Amino acid sequence: MQQRSSTVQEPLAETAHRPTPPPAWRPRTDPAPLLPDTEPLRVLGTDAVADADPALLRRLYAELVRGRRYNAQATALTKQGRLAVYPSTTGQEASEIGAALALEERDWLFPSYRDTLAAVARGLDPVQALTLLRGDWHTGYDPREHRIAPLCTPLATQLPHAVGLAHAARLKGDDVVALAMVGDGGTSEGDFHEALNFAAVWQAPVVFFVQNNGFAISVPLAKQTAAPSLAHKAVGYGMPGRLVDGNDVVAVHQVLTEAVTRARRGGGPTLVEAITYRIDAHTNADDATRYRADGEVETWRAHDPVLLLERELTARGLLDEEGRRAAAEAAETMAAELRERMNADPVLDPMDLFTHVYAEQTAQLREQAAQLRAELEAEGESR
């Protein structure tokens, strides 16, 4: 007789049910030291100011006053039609200047479109720094000469460039650190993720500096991320995250100097988030009253980076009326020169449009160039 197969299993030995224990797991690095502090670092208004070099404090003050004036003058130039667009950093001068001055001459700065002031603080000619924003096709300066990459309009694309340059420098044995600047909105870009990931894997000598100024045009940070802070994102990549008061120029300079030194010594990248606020609109083409309350702006005006430093230096006897006047006069001289030079019409050759598109022009470009040349000649311009 055929035996029926039974679905009833014989009870197995008890041990057969126990899964083989997995290989021991533990985090690859301890996340605790990578976590940012619970509060942004502040130095102004604390006893720590006493440790700062008075010469540095005075220099920072002069740069802040000049930076504030530069923002006002560049914004005025947009109203006069002398500048196509200006993304102001009024209210963010401490972040721009404190960060830029943490670099050595041999280092590289990778700015976004908002970071003209960082470039100027690093020594770039104030007019050259505005070339792109004036609508020219080129960056206005030689990036290699100044070690300042072009002001970058596509969000966050400067970050992988910074990592690539820093990594390459390290492979070649060059002592170079790259400082990559980006806004809070830029942290939502894929380029931000890729840059931080590669930087940490390669331990590239790069510092990522996020200026969290509250908004990406009209989008507030709350709609941008659910992270506890932008600095916390660092932990996911395996690098330290640091939080700093972006309106405290001494704190910014200190945190950035520490991060740059760490990178230079082979310690790898750091992500720094500066808490600050954009006092002006996104650019002269934006109306900020449509998406934020006046009260919010006023609250931040009370935490103005220039006033914070001025009060501290005055209270400590490091700045007097004479010092304030000297800084204001130097800033006025810079603004007057900027006005004068920007009021001169640049001589542009429309044919330049075709010059640097490809090493060898395509048939289509040659045809378009010929058409433009003919039009210009018909207008009576001899070229």
Question: Per-residue string for binding with ligand TPP, 72-91, x by CB under 6 A?
Answer: ---------------x----
Where would I find the beta strands (DSSP E) of the chain?
A: 108-110, 178-183, 206-212, 215-216, 219-220, 241-245, 270-275
**What string of DSSP letters covers 42-63?**
--TTSGGGGGS-HHHHHHHHHH
Helix 93-100, helix 54-79: angle, nearest 10: 130
Q: Residues 68, 114, 170, 253: which binds ligand TPP (CB under 6 A)?
A: 114
Question: Per-residue string for binding with ligand TPP, 123-162, x by CB under 6 A?
Answer: ------------------------------xxx-------
Spatial separation of the C-alpha atoms in residues 59 and 312, rounded to whole Å: 14
Spatial separation of the C-alpha atoms in residues 279 and 7, rounded to whole Å: 76
The residue among 153 and 257 lying less far from ligand TPP, judged by its C-beta, is: 153
The residue among 183 and 268 lying less far from ligand TPP, judged by its C-beta, is: 183
Active site residue 114: no
The residue among 120 and 155 lying less far from ligand TPP, judged by its C-beta, is: 155
Going edge to edge, which strands form the sheet with 241-245? 108-110, 178-183, 206-212, 270-275, 241-245
**Under rule CB under 6 A, residue 213 binds ligand TPP:** yes
- 21-28 long-range CB contacts below 8 Å, 24 or more apart? 28/238
Dihedrals phi, psi of 31, to nearest 5 degrees? -70, -20
**Under rule CB under 6 A, residue 185 binds ligand TPP:** yes
Q: Residues 56, 168, 171, 217: which binds ligand TPP (CB under 6 A)?
A: 217
**Per CB under 6 A, which region of 48-56, 158-166, 178-186, 243-251 contacts ligand TPP?**
178-186
Q: Of 291, 324, 339, 341, which is the active-site residue?
A: 291
Active site residue 113: no
Active site residue 291: yes
Binding site for ligand TPP (CB under 6 A): 87, 114, 153-155, 183-186, 213, 215-217, 278, 282
